[in-house]
Structure 1
Amino acid sequence: MAALPAWNLLKGKTAAVTGGTTGIGRAIVLAYITQGCNVAVNHLGRPQEEERRHSLLKEVEAIKNTGIGAGSILELPGDVTDPETSTRLIKEAVSQWGQLDIFVANAGVFKPAEFLKIQPSLLDHSVDVNVKGCFYSCQAAAHQMVKQGRGGSIIGISSVSALLGGGFQTHYTPTKAAILSMMQSMAIALGKDKIRCNALMPGTIATQLADHDMNDPVKKAALEARIPLGRVGDPEDMAGPAVFLACEEMSRYVNATGLLADGGMYSNLQ
Structure 2
Amino acid sequence: MERPSPPSLAGDKVVCITGASRGIGRGCAIEFAKHGAFAFVLHYLGDAETEQEINTLKAELEDSLTYPQQPKVVVIAGDIADPATSAKIVEIGVGAFGRIDVLVSNAGICPFAEFLTMPHATWERTRQVNLDGSFFVVQAVANQMKSQTPQGGSIIGISSISALVGGEMQCHYTPTKAGILSLMQSCAVALGRYNIRANAVLPGTIATDINKEDLADVTKRENMENRTVLGRLGVPSDIAGPVVFLASDLAKYVTGASLLVDGGLFVNLQ
TM-score range, shorter chain: over 0.9
Aligned twin of 2:134:
134
* Structure 2: distance between partners of 1:129 and 1:43: 12
Answer with 89-98 or 23-32: which moved more. Answer: 89-98
1: CA distance between counterparts of 2:190 and 2:109?
A: 27
- Counterpart code for 1:126: T
Tell me by how many angstroms 1:6 deviates. 8.8
- C-alpha deviation, 1:7, in angstroms: 5.5
Tell me, yes or no, if the aligned pair for 2:34 and 2:66 is still in contact at 8 Å: no
> 1:194, CA displacement in angstroms?
1.1
- Quote how far apart the aligned CAs of 1:8 are: 2.2
Note the residue ranges of structure 2 that are not aligned, 5 or more in a row: none
- What's the secondary structure of 2:269's corresponding residue? coil
- Closer, same or farther: CA 152–118 of 1 in aligned 2, 3 Å: same
Partner residue, 1:242: 243
Alignment: residue pair count: 264
Is structure 2 residue 183 aligned with structure 1 residue 182?
yes
Q: Does 1:107 align with 2:107?
A: yes
Structure 1 contact 6–35 (Cα < 8 Å) conserved? no
The Cα shift of 1:67 comes to 6.1
**So what's the TM-score if we normalise by structure 1?**
0.94
**In percent, how many aligned pairs have the same letter?**
43
* Paired amino acid for 1:233: G
Could you say which residue in structure 1 is the equivalent of 2:254?
A: 254
Q: Structure 1: give runs of 5+ residues left out of the alignment.
A: none
Alpha-carbon shift at residue 87 of structure 1 (Å): 1.2
State the one-letter code of the partner of 1:61.
E
Assess, with a 3 A threshold, how the Cα gap between structure 1 residues 31 and 67 changes in structure 2: closer, same or farther: closer
Q: Note the alpha carbon deviations across 1:9-58, whole angstroms, 9 max, x for none.
A: 11111111110011000011111122221110000110122331222123
2:221 alignment partner in structure 1: 220
Letter of the 2:258 counterpart: G
> Whose helix fraction is larger, Structure 1's or Structure 2's?
1
Equivalent position of 1:155 in the other structure? 156
Task: Report deviation, 1:71.
Answer: 2.0
Runs of 4+ in 1 over 4 A off after TM superposition: none
Amino acid paired to 2:157: G
Q: Equivalents in 2 of 1:92, 1:6: separation in Å?
A: 32
Q: What TM-score results when the alignment is normalised by the length of structure 2?
A: 0.94
The amino acid across from 1:220 in the alignment is: R
Contact 1:107 1:129 (8 Å CA) reproduced: yes
CA RMSD in angstroms comes to: 1.5
Are positions 1:93 and 2:89 aligned together?
A: no
